[in-house]
Amino acid sequence: MRKKNFAVILSGCGHQDGAEIHEATLTLWAIHKNGADFQCYAPDIKQHHVLNHITGQEMSEKRNVLIESARIARGKIAALATFAPDSADGLVIPGGFGAAKNLSSYAFDGAQCTVNPDVATAIKAMHAAGKPIGALCIAPVILAKVLGNVTLTIGQDQGTADNLAAMGARHQPTMQGEIAIDWERKIVSTPCYMLNSRIDQIGEGADNLIKAMLEMMV
């Protein structure tokens, strides 16, 4: 039987200005743990900004989202513009501020945000094909903006939940390691570091998310 294959969209490297490394790594771990495989992608664009992860201060340098994401993927990554929906059985977007700064403008524009065209195209294509989509941490806001009428979770933060509603989505409160499942639309989400979580709870959430997505592929 052919292994299921996940496309994983990364948004850089580092939770303040790119993909959250724990969430991204544990998502990849969960995919292999559950007998599936993955291909990482990232948009080939300039990173919004670069932050010192000790001080939180902006640094005077420029980085590329695809090149930075390759740090997590160990170089095995492709430009998101090359993604073909028939090459994957599911799509996953880990969180980190890169999802809200590089994949979208949510960090700056809230419910009025825009989404990177390659990201939006991939989401729409997978959704139209009836394939499951997963989102971790803050990444569900991207699905809300692109798809609208879906059930999602970002944990317990009321302000973000209000923004999801403003974009047409429904919020389901969750705690560490839990997932929200929209079976009809094949959407799975988990809060991760939107809550005060330990790394083992991040792994639990990623594992539960991947397991639910695999159930949707049967």
Tens of pLDDT along 167-215? Answer: 999 999 999 999 999 999 999 999 999 999 999 999 999 999 999 999 9
For the chain, domain boundaries:
5-216
Asked if 137 is an active-site residue, the reply is: yes
Whether pTM exceeds 0.95: yes
Give start and end residues of each alpha helix (H) in the chain: 21-33, 65-73, 97-101, 106-109, 117-128, 140-147, 158-166, 199-216
Token representation of residue 113: 């945000």
- 3-class DSSP assignment, residue 21: helix
Q: For strands 180-182 and 187-190, give the pairing.
A: antiparallel
Catalytic hit among 13, 40, 137, 192: 137
**64-111 residue pLDDT tens:** 999 999 999 999 999 999 999 999 999 999 999 999 999 999 999 999
User: Distance of CA 202 to CAs 27, 44, 71, 89, 157, Å?
Assistant: 9, 27, 20, 23, 17
**Is the domain 5-216 a CATH 3.30.470.20 member?**
no
d(CA 70, CA 75): 5
Give how far Cα 14 sits from Cα of 11, 53, 150, 152, 204, Å: 9, 8, 28, 24, 20
